[in-house]
C-alpha cells in the first residue's frame, strides 16, 4: 500500500476535504511494552503461585509456569528487540520472593541480577517503569495469611523501601501494586486464583490492606528517593472496565454506575490521593442485560458474533476512550500501562493496536492527560490459570527452544513508536483488509 508524503497529504486534503495527516501524539510520549516477572522469567519456585500450581488441575491443560519464556536468562536479547521496535520505555516487575525468600532475609545475588536488568534497559536509553507486586507473594507471607494478615502492608512497605534504597537510582517510575481489585476478586471472591477463597468480607479486607500497603510504600519510596536527591514518581496500575447496558431503564443506569464505582473508582478513594499518576490496564468491555426475572447478567459476546480475543474478551476500542475521559476527574497524569489481545491471528492484533491507539489519540485531543502507552506484552507469557495457550506477545516464543520470533504486528507498533504518530495508511487495518506486508 502506498504511503503518502506530506505534500501529497496536503493536496488530498485540499481536493477532497479528507485529511491524510498523521495522528500525532504529544512530544516525549512514552512508547513501551509490559511484562511481569512470574509470567516471563521462569525458575520461580518460592511463591504462592508456584505452590498452587502443584495441585492437580489448577492450570488449564495441566501446565506449570516452569521456565516460562526464560526471560531471566535472555533479558538482554529481549531488550534488544524492544529497542529495535523503537520502544523508549519498558514496564517490568521484580519478583518479591526472589529478593526476600525468607522473612527479613535479602538475597543479594538476586538484587545484583535485577540491578543488571535495570541497567541494561538504561544502557539502551529505555526508561524503566518498575512494578513491585504483580499478583505473587513469597511463601513466608502466604503462611501468615497473605494480604489478609494485618502485617502485610508493613511487610510490603519494608520491601518497597529496600528496593528503593538499593535499586532506586535505576528506576524512572514506580508502580507499587498491579491490579489490586483483580487480585482481590480472583483470589478471594471468585476463588479462581490462590488461595481460592470465596468470601466477600475477605475480598474487601485484602483490598483495604493493599491500599494501606500502597500508601506506606508510596511514602517509603518518596522518602528514600529524597535521600538520594532524586524525584520519585509513584502510582498504581489499575484494571478498568467499560460497561454498557441494553436497557435505558433507571435501574440499569444505577447498576452500571455502581459497578463502575466498585471496579474503577473505589481503590482510588481507598488510597486517599496518594498517587502521582494513574496507570490504566484496559482489556474489558462488558455488556449487561436483565433476564426474564429481572436479574442482571453479563452478555456472552460470542452469541452476538462480536469480535473477541481467544479468551473471549470483546474487542471494543472506544471503551479505552471512555475510561480515560472518566478517570481524568482525578486530575492526575495517566499512562496506559497494559493493553493488548490474546490471539493467534496476528492481523487481528495489528487491527487491535491501531484501533486502540486511535481512540487514545482522540482521548488526548478531548483533554485526557495521557503521557504513555505500554502494550501487553513484549513477549508471549504464562497467562496465570490459563497457562501458555493465550498468545499476547508482539514477539512469539517457542516454549521448547525459547526462540524469539518478531510478529508482523510488532512492526506496526514499531512504526507508531518511531513516528510518534499513526500514519494514515495504518488506518487501513481498521477495514479488516490489510496485512503489514502489504503496506
CATH at residue 294: 3.20.20.80
The verdict on 28 and 11 lying in the same domain is no
The verdict on 429 and 404 lying in the same domain is no
User: Which is nearest to 317 in space by CA: 283, 267, 289, 364?
Assistant: 283
Question: Considering the domain boundaries, does residue 104 fall inside one?
Answer: yes
The verdict on 50 and 111 lying in the same domain is yes
The pLDDT value recorded for residue 7 is 56
The pLDDT value recorded for residue 16 is 45
The verdict on 14 and 95 lying in the same domain is no
The verdict on 17 and 152 lying in the same domain is no
Instruction: Please tell me the distance from the alpha carbon of residue 301 to that of residue 313, in angstroms, as a whole number.
Output: 8
Residues 6+ apart with CB under 8 A from 6: none
The verdict on 84 and 8 lying in the same domain is no
The pLDDT value recorded for residue 1 is 43
Question: Considering the domain boundaries, does residue 418 fall inside one?
Answer: no
The pLDDT value recorded for residue 419 is 98
Residues 6+ apart with CB under 8 A from 398: 405
Question: Considering the domain boundaries, does residue 30 fall inside one?
Answer: yes
The verdict on 351 and 438 lying in the same domain is no
Question: Considering the domain boundaries, does residue 360 fall inside one?
Answer: yes
The verdict on 200 and 71 lying in the same domain is yes
The verdict on 403 and 258 lying in the same domain is yes
The verdict on 239 and 386 lying in the same domain is yes
And the C-alpha cell for 287? 455488556
The pLDDT value recorded for residue 8 is 55
The pLDDT value recorded for residue 19 is 62
The verdict on 345 and 304 lying in the same domain is yes
The verdict on 304 and 397 lying in the same domain is yes
Range of the domain at 8: 1-22+423-439
Number of domains in the chain: 2
And the C-alpha cell for 372? 504513555
Length of the chain: 439
- pTM for the model: 0.93
Question: Considering the domain boundaries, does residue 170 fall inside one?
Answer: yes
Phi/psi for 212 (5° steps) reads -65, -40
User: Which is nearest to 332 in space by CA: 260, 279, 403?
Assistant: 279
The pLDDT value recorded for residue 9 is 52
User: pLDDT tens string for the chain (439 positions)?
Assistant: 445 555 555 554 444 455 678 999 999 999 999 999 999 999 999 999 999 998 877 888 889 999 999 999 999 999 999 999 999 999 999 999 999 999 999 999 999 999 999 999 999 999 999 999 999 999 999 999 999 999 999 999 999 999 999 999 999 999 999 999 999 999 999 999 999 999 999 999 999 999 999 999 999 999 999 999 999 999 999 999 999 888 888 998 899 999 999 999 999 999 988 999 999 999 999 988 888 777 888 888 888 888 999 999 999 999 999 999 999 999 999 999 999 999 999 999 999 999 999 999 999 999 999 999 999 999 999 999 999 999 999 999 999 999 999 999 999 999 999 999 999 899 887 765 555 555 5
The pLDDT value recorded for residue 428 is 80
User: Which is nearest to 130 in space by CA: 374, 379, 399, 433?
Assistant: 374
Q: Do residues 208 and 149 make contact, with C-beta atoms less than 8 angstroms apart? A: no
Q: How far lies 334's CA from each of 212, 236, 367, in Å?
A: 22, 10, 12
Helix, strand, coil proportions of the chain in percent (round to 5)?
A: 45, 20, 35
Amino acid at each position: 500500500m502506498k504511503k503518502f508524503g506530506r505534500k501529497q497529504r496536503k493536496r488530498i486534503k485540499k481536493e477532497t476535504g479528507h485529511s491524510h495527516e498523521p495522528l500525532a501524539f504529544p512530544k516525549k510520549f512514552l512508547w513501551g511494552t509490559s511484562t511481569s516477572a512470574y509470567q516471563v522469567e521462569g525458575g520461580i519456585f518460592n511463591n504462592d503461585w508456584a505452590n498452587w500450581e502443584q495441585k492437580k488441575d489448577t492450570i488449564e491443560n495441566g501446565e506449570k509456569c516452569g521456565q516460562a519464556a526464560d526471560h531471566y536468562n535472555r533479558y538482554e536479547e529481549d531488550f534488544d528487540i524492544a529497542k529495535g521496535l523503537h520502544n523508549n520505555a519498558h514496564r517490568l516487575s521484580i519478583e518479591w520472593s526472589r529478593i526476600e525468600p525468607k522473612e527479613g532475609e535479602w538475597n543479594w545475588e538476586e538484587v545484583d541480577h535485577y540491578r543488571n536488568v535495570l541497567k541494561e534497559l538504561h544502557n539502551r536509553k529505555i526508561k524503566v517503569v518498575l512494578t513491585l507486586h504483580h499478583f505473587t507473594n513469597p511463601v513466608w507471607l502466604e503462611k501468615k495469611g497473605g494480604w489478609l494478615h494485618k502485617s502485610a502492608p508493613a511487610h510490603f512497605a519494608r520491601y518497597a523501601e529496600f528496593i528503593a534504597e538499593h535499586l532506586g537510582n535505576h528506576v524512572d517510575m514506580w508502580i507499587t501494586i498491579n491490579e489490586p481489585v483483580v487480585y482481590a476478586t480472583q483470589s478471594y471472591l471468585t476463588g479462581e486464583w490462590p488461595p481460592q477463597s470465596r468470601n466477600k468480607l475477605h475480598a474487601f479486607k485484602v483490598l483495604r490492606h493493599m491500599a494501606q500497603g500502597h500508601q506506606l510504600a508510596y511514602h517509603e519510596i518518596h522518602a528514600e528517593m529524597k535521600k538520594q536527591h532524586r524525584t520519585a514518581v509513584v502510582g498504581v496500575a489499575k484494571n478498568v472496565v467499560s460497561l454498557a447496558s441494553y436497557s435505558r431503564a433507571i435501574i440499569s443506569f444505577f447498576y452500571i454506575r455502581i459497578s463502575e464505582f466498585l471496579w474503577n473508582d473505589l481503590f482510588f478513594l481507598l488510597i486517599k490521593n496518594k498517587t502521582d499518576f494513574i496507570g490504566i490496564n484496559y482489556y474489558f468491555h462488558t455488556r449487561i442485560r436483565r433476564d426474564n426475572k429481572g436479574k442482571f447478567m453479563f452478555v456472552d459476546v460470542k452469541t452476538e458474533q462480536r469480535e473477541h480475543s481467544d479468551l473471549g474478551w470483546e474487542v471494543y476500542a472506544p471503551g479505552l476512550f471512555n475510561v480515560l475521559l472518566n478517570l481524568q476527574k482525578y486530575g492526575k497524569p495517566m499512562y496506559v500501562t497494559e493493553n493488548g489481545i490474546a490471539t493467534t491471528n496476528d492481523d487481528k492484533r495489528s487491527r487491535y493496536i491501531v484501533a486502540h491507539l486511535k481512540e487514545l489519540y482522540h482521548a488526548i485531543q478531548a483533554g485526557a492527560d495521557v503521557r504513555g502507552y505500554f502494550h501487553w506484552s513484549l513477549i508471549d507469557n504464562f497467562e496465570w490459570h490459563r497457562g501458555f495457550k493465550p498468545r499476547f506477545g508482539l514477539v512469539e516464543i517457542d516454549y521448547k527452544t525459547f526462540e524469539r520470533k518478531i510478529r508482523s504486528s510488532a512492526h506496526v507498533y514499531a512504526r507508531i513508536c518511531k513516528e510518534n504518530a499513526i500514519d494514515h495508511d495504518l488506518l487501513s487495518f481498521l477495514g479488516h483488509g490489510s496485512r503489514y506486508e502489504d503496506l
